[in-house]
Structure 1
């Protein structure tokens, strides 16, 4: 139990529900207002379901931000449960949202703020996918009990193997106990197999129909690409009927899952996949991602780089970001050792430089207390320790301008 959880009173009404409790539904955020409205709609529906205040907050690209939304709730309640409207546990779930929540805890020490899990793998989601598949079968005029119907479940794809493995698990659960000929997993990007590859593989078994299920929350750019891929496959293989279904949308079964995630958060029984988390254990091919400090830096960098996102119609998660991100630890110990002067010195030297392409920001503790002030340069993975204000110009002119590491200041290289 956290210190925040112990600090808040346990006031309950006659129904046993905390009368000073609220929920924040944390969405990713989009430049497409339609996607943001979906989050707000689910928040309103969840409020009706739970009978307590539910607000929507966004990680990026939409307002209010998660810290701002928490601040609005913190003025009226003493307990807040954050429920994440994310399909899988990748970096946003493991790094970015927890970072935003921790900052909110620091700003509201008298409020118990608990961070809940993502949607993940849940029986209600499998049932929802089953219904989406049945709708496409009706459109194509086929029946899985009499025809050979193959399904391709297409998710976004992630650089986190834990998230990708859950997509495969959902596909297998959809297959087990049903009359589908087969259920395969595909991804729009980042990892394999891609949708086109999975569709071609399914065609080799000569099914009567292929149902493509976009495993997406909304009807956005990626869902459109999945529909286009299904249509192209349908044209290319005339002996197989194919069509794509609808995304998850605001189906009421999402509320079943969100309600469970709320209960887990408020009772501190969140079960995350720590045994397969690339930030906690060494997985083949992902050894360099292990470590809380690396995860924190990645979250800070990602948050800053999204300030320069291009239009939503561009490649998803494409960034017009600076070449380097510099994080300066301004936690209590480093601050006492002169970190604010280092931060300002770096920023001033960067402004004076014609070649520097870097964003310089504050960071919370980087886990090197006593060795600071600490300055971390990302994506190079170079950490400088014991930095003085007078060292700022050297770091900028040598490392940031010319990619020459200031060797006498190096604390560690990740």
Structure 2
């Protein structure tokens, strides 16, 4: 019996360590499911591209390619970039069928990962108190930092996850912030924790793997801890190779194989219009394209339905098809507290 082919799509990073972490993660998934042929590709900043990944799948004899994104929330990459790459592949390989899966989304297991990362958090401030003088939960605030972007659905899903985390804890509060594009920024989130009277702040990055944003996050939190020695600050790690992430991706693979994915964008007029605009700025089909983008760009389509909740979607969610990146240029916008681009 011919093996079914899965194409796992990660984001890609300018820092090769992050790309290697993703490859290691997908290699473990492949070892967990030896009955499947699993390939890995990247949306940008690393090779192979989505087009290159699809080419490998077809060259390996795949008649059906099951495309599963390694993405936390349904933002621009999930709603626009990957579907556009699939559209191009359909034209290039008309004999091949493509089935598109869902991102990780909001799950209880994601909350469990965050709880583990809280327990593993590392103190950044030097203690001048006895070890028995620990800060109580009612004086502790957890600040969870998301990637942030122009898509309201993805940003609100992140807030939902933070609320679910708070429901599982006894902390004074669980607050949310973003490293890029969206507000509140990381700096604003930290200042809010102070304003709420936190004696201890546990800061967690809700990012998949290391990269530019993770390194900037670590530097900023360390600077904050140095500037506020009166507050205990602990730094958590990104998701990384957590076994529950593997469980969630394995589940997404299975539901894609079974045809239980729910975001079919094939007949989406909104995405078609967005694609026309998007095509002038990107060439994701090129291997190692290494393109550079302008400051704080949004790539939303310019048409009358842009903010109309009744624009003709038959999807289970109303989405804006915004285009979000791990670009360095967008980070200072949120860090300095500039208006959120929606």
Return the TM-score normalized by structure 1. Answer: 0.63
Indicate the SS of the match to 2:66.
strand
Match of 1:26 in 2: 9
How many residues are aligned here?
Answer: 285
Q: Does 1:208 align with 2:199?
A: yes
1:103-125 CA-to-partner distances (Å, cap 9, x unmatched) read 22333333332111112212222
Match of 1:46 in 2: 29
Match of 2:18 in 1: 35
Q: Where in structure 1 do 4 or more consecutive aligned residues deviate above 6 Å?
A: 137-145
Mapped contact 2:118–2:204 kept (Cα < 8 A):
yes
Match of 2:99 in 1: 114
Structure 1 residues 71 and 270, CA gap change in structure 2 (3 angstroms)? same
1:276-297 CA-to-partner distances (Å, cap 9, x unmatched) read xxxx7xxxxxxxxx82333212
Match of 1:97 in 2: 82
Match of 1:331 in 2: none
Mapped contact 1:117–1:270 kept (Cα < 8 A):
yes
Mapped contact 2:100–2:264 kept (Cα < 8 A):
no
1:113-161 CA-to-partner distances (Å, cap 9, x unmatched) read 2111112212222111111111117787787865622111111210111
Q: Does 1:77 align with 2:62?
A: yes
1:47-99 CA-to-partner distances (Å, cap 9, x unmatched) read 11222221111122222121221222223233321111112211111011011
Which runs of 5 or more structure 1 residues have no equivalent in the other structure?
1-10, 12-18, 275-279, 281-289, 311-316, 322-414
Match of 2:51 in 1: 67
Indicate the SS of the match to 1:304.
coil
CA distance in 2, matches of 1:161, 1:32: 28
Mapped contact 1:40–1:55 kept (Cα < 8 A):
no
CA distance in 1, matches of 2:264, 2:232: 38
Match of 2:162 in 1: 171
Select the structure with the greater relative contact order (CA < 8 A; seq sep ≥ 6): 2
Mapped contact 1:23–1:82 kept (Cα < 8 A):
yes
Q: Which of the pair has more CA radius of gyration?
A: 1
Per residue, is there more helix in 1 or in 2? 1
Match of 2:73 in 1: 88
1:27-59 CA-to-partner distances (Å, cap 9, x unmatched) read 122332222212211211111122222111112
Which runs of 5 or more structure 2 residues have no equivalent in the other structure?
126-130, 298-342
CA distance in 2, matches of 1:120, 1:273: 16
Match of 1:309 in 2: 291
Match of 1:123 in 2: 108
Structure 1 residues 270 and 299, CA gap change in structure 2 (3 angstroms)? farther
How far apart are 1:169 and its partner, in Å? Answer: 0.9
Structure 1 residues 212 and 318, CA gap change in structure 2 (3 angstroms)? farther
Match of 1:359 in 2: none
